[in-house]
Each structure stands twice: as structure tokens, then as C-alpha cells.
Amino acid sequence: MIALAKLFLTAVLVLHCGLNAAAGDQTTIRGLADQAVLVHRITKSVCLLFVGAQTPVHAEDVATSVRELYALSSTSAGQSEVDYILFDEVETLTRSAQQIVAGDRHTVPVTLLIRTNPRLAARYSQMRYNATSDVAGKYRGSYAVVHELRVVSQAFQRDLCLFLTDLAASGADRAMTERIAYFSQSLQALVIGDPEARMIAVPNVHIKVTLGKVAAKWKTLEPILSAAASGDPIDPRNVQLASVLGDAMLENLDQISDRFLALK
């Protein structure tokens, strides 16, 4: 598992080293990660509506996330066919989510939502590999991983909620186990560095302190996720707790991203 994580981190860095080649692409790592985060938030919030959790709160979160995703994906759409395919997928996800929030729990919108989410997640992941970097060369590996963790923090919430329903995809437990290992290893690598993956040690005390805040929340969240991935019964209250912790980690990771952007 560790070797797999190192291979992933190295691949991220190598692909991001093509900054000059990608200079014509105005879509950055951060912008694409923002969109992937929203894709997972929409799906997670719709799922929480299914399990009866704070309906007005999650309905509003869907509405807000849909607006933000439309705005971001509209600015990303260019003249190429692949961009329009991306926008069509966004349209499918958001319209399905809005139908479900409006009370349509029939098979078609639910199936479209569940099937479109992983397709969009995979497409945004691929686009991040080739995206314009926002930071200087020596920070690119760590910065890219920060944004992978932002996206994963929301994927955890999505999957944990789906485990409470009959909507979880086949192999979701295995995928969660792999994400848990990746998250733990990446947090450590962001602090101490990883020469194999060309990640430097944490560059300043501000980032180190904020990574400590993420790690503290992860210490509570990780056992909840591991139990779910192992097939243990899930307490709905833990799904709500995971949602709170995941959002708090996302906020901390956003702050870390800002700190990296401020480095010279």
C-alpha cells in the first residue's frame, strides 16, 4: 500500500512538472480540485437527505454547491469536445440532485446521480494531473497532494453515507480502505517530506500547525471510516460526525493551500 501511495505521489509531481507545456490551460490544480470537491459535496448532501439528516441544511448545501459548480465549470468549458462532455456530465449530476431534493426519489435521477459522480471524479482527477500549477517548482508535489486530500476528505463523507443505503458501489469498501491509507501516508509525507515522491518537508510553522489540526480531526475520523470499510454496522450519528469533521478538515486544507500560494 505504501509503495502504491509513493507511486501516486511521484506521478502527480512528474505530471505537474509540465507547467510550461500547460501554460495555455487557464484551469489550475486548485480550480479543478474545487470542482471535484463540489461534485462529492452534492452527492453526499443528497445522500444525507435519503437518511433523514437535517433536511433543510443539506437541501441548502445542495443548492449552494450546485450554483458554485455551475459557475466554476462554466469558466472551465472551452471549445474542445472534451470540455463540453465535462459540462454535460456536470449538468446531469446537478439536475439529478435538484430533482431528488425537490422530492423525486425515483430510480432515474438517483441512478444518474450515483453513476455520474465517479465519472466526474475520475475526469477531474485526470485533468488535475495535467493542470497548470499555482506554486513554484519545489512546492508542486506537496501542493498537489494537499488538493488530493481536499477531494478525498469529501469522498469519505459521500461513501460513508452511501454505506447506510443500498446505493454504495461494488468495491466501495476496498476503495475506502485504500483512501484511508493514502490519507494517512500523505499527511505524514506533508510534514516530514518524501524524497522518493519529491515532496519537501513542511516549509513553515504555519502550515505545520494547520496540518496538526487536520491530523487531530483525522484521529477521530479514521476509526469511523475503517469500521465502515470493514463492514461493521454504521451508526447514523457517526455519519453526521464524519460530515462535520470532513468539512472542518477541508477548511484547514484550504488554509494550507493558501499558505502554499503565499510562498515565494
Check whether 11 has a pLDDT greater than 90: no
Region of poorest pLDDT, from 10-24, 112-126, 248-262: 10-24
Query: Total structural domains in the chain?
Result: 1
* Mean pLDDT score, 178-195: 96
- Confidence category of residue 156, pLDDT binned at 50, 70, 90: very high
Q: Position of cell 486544507?
A: 253
Let me know the angle formed at the C-alpha of 199 by 198 and 203, rounded to the nearest 5 degrees.
Answer: 140
* Mean pLDDT score, 106-131: 92
3-state class (DSSP) for residue 166: coil
Grid cell in block for residue 47 = 445522500
Of 105-109, 110-114, 159-163, 213-217, which has the strongest mean pLDDT? 213-217
Check whether 239 has a pLDDT greater than 70: yes
Which residue type, as a one-letter code, is found at position 71? A
Stated pTM of the model: 0.86
- Confidence category of residue 210, pLDDT binned at 50, 70, 90: very high
Check whether 9 has a pLDDT greater than 60: no
Task: Give the Cβ contact number of residue 135 at 10 Å.
Answer: 23
- Confidence category of residue 20, pLDDT binned at 50, 70, 90: very low
Return all residues near 225 (Cβ < 8 A) that are at least 6 apart.
156, 160, 176, 180, 242
* Mean pLDDT score, 238-260: 95
Given a contact cutoff of 8 angstroms between Cβ atoms, the answer to whether 254 and 147 are in contact is no
Per the structure, the complete domain to which residue 25 belongs is given by 2-262
> What gap in Å lies between CA 94 and CA 70, rounded to an integer?
8
> What gap in Å lies between CA 172 and CA 217, rounded to an integer?
23
- For residue 232, give Cα distances in angstroms to 40, 88, 181: 23, 37, 18
3-state class (DSSP) for residue 178: helix
Q: What is the pLDDT of residue 155?
A: 96
Q: What is the pLDDT of residue 75?
A: 65
Burial state string for 233-262 with b = 16 or more CB within 10 A and e = fewer than 16: ebeeebbeebbebbbbbbebbbbbbebbee
Check whether 17 has a pLDDT greater than 90: no
Per-residue model confidence as pLDDT tens digits over 51-67: 876 678 889 999 999 99
| DSSP designation for 137 | G
Given a contact cutoff of 8 angstroms between Cβ atoms, the answer to whether 210 and 255 are in contact is yes
Check whether 191 has a pLDDT greater than 90: yes
Region of poorest pLDDT, from 7-11, 62-66, 108-112, 128-132: 7-11
